[in-house]
């Protein structure tokens, strides 16, 4: 079914986890004769289904979803590679006269797809030295150094995220500029309408708790155990995914199953706050309520917003 009004070139549905982005993306793609392009960094991995809340084939409602299940869990995530793949999908859909609907909460991936963003190269020697220091001193010491060199980057990167801290310090050393200086401005590559799905914190926290319980009931532990046999524990990116990291710790005897579940809830709530902060900084995002009381009106409100943006 086609919209009565012309669609923008690209639509992006963004916001924190558990807000309701996936269902809205399916609706818009179907209504606007488009396809969903995944912008969730962990849904790129094959087999990471339950813990990433990946839509089932039935839930996708016949709408093609691109960039799902394309990487093995041993592959290290690369925003630059995602950018290349996402733009290829977007360009293909535009050439076919169809609407790309980018859906996900990985802020840098969304920006990499739709905005002018160039990625600094890497220096193997610098990277090796920083990784050695990480292994010896731990992420906290490197995070302290990052805070002195680039306070804004330090605020955006968790003190426990050694991989991202190393990358930020590497970029600073290579370029001589703050890591945040290499983040994108608001220079768009595509004509895009960004829709943020907003849910008040108490309701979102409750949704997250319920979602984590359902993941455990759906077999997350078995999913992680199966992926561990495929190299998940060695995967530098996938092994740190919410839920997966906690279950791996439990399987190794580092905590109980209940402790892993509780920590997944806490970590996901923290992550949702960081997602919200990231997207709030972009003035181009139009926010719509995804609260339970507004859920039935959300699709039509999104269409109205899109039509106004096109005719403005």
DSSP 41: G
Report whether 199 contacts 206 (CB < 8 A): no
The closest alpha carbon to 115, from 188, 200, 207, belongs to 188
Binding-site residues for substrate, please?
17-22
One-character DSSP codes across 100-154: EEEE-S-HHHHHHHHB--------HHHHHHHHHHHHHH-HHHHHHHHHHH-HHHH
Tokens encoding 294: 């507004």
User: At which residue do the structure tokens 């995944």 appear?
Assistant: 38
Binding-site residues, please?
15-22
Report whether 168 contacts 150 (CB < 8 A): yes
Binding-site residues for ATP, please?
15-22
């Amino acid at each position: 079914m086609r919209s009565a009004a012309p669609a923008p070139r690209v639509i992006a549905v963004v916001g924190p986890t558990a807000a309701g982005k996936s269902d809205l993306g399916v609706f818009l793609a179907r209504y606007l004769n488009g396809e969903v392009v995944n912008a969730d960094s962990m849904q790129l991995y094959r087999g990471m289904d339950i813990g990433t809340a990946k839509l089932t084939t039935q839930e996708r409602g016949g709408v093609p979803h691109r960039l799902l299940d394309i990487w093995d869990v041993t592959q290290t995530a690369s925003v630059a590679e995602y950018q290349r793949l996402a733009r290829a999908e977007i360009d293909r859909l535009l050439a076919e006269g169809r609407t790309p609907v980018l859906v996900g909460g990985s802020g840098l991936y969304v920006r990499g797809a739709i905005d002018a963003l160039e990625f600094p190269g890497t220096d193997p020697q610098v990277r090796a030295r920083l990784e050695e220091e990480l292994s010896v001193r731990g992420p906290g010491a490197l995070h302290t150094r990052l805070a002195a060199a680039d306070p804004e980057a330090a605020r955006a990167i968790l003190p426990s995220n050694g991989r991202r801290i190393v990358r930020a310090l590497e970029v600073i050393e290579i370029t001589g500029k703050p890591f945040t200086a290499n983040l994108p401005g608001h220079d768009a590559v595509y004509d895009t309408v960004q829709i943020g799905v907003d849910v008040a914190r108490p309701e979102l926290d409750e949704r997250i708790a319920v979602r984590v319980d359902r993941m455990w009931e759906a077999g997350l532990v078995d999913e992680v155990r199966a992926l561990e046999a495929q190299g998940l524990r060695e995967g530098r990116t996938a092994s740190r995914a919410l839920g997966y990291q906690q279950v791996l710790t439990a399987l190794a005897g580092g905590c109980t199953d209940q402790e892993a579940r509780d920590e997944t809830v806490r970590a996901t709530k923290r992550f949702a706050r960081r997602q919200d902060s990231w997207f709030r900084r972009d003035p181009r995002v139009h926010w719509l309520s995804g609260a339970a009381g507004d859920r039935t009106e959300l699709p039509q409100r999104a269409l109205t917003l899109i039509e106004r943006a096109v005719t403005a």
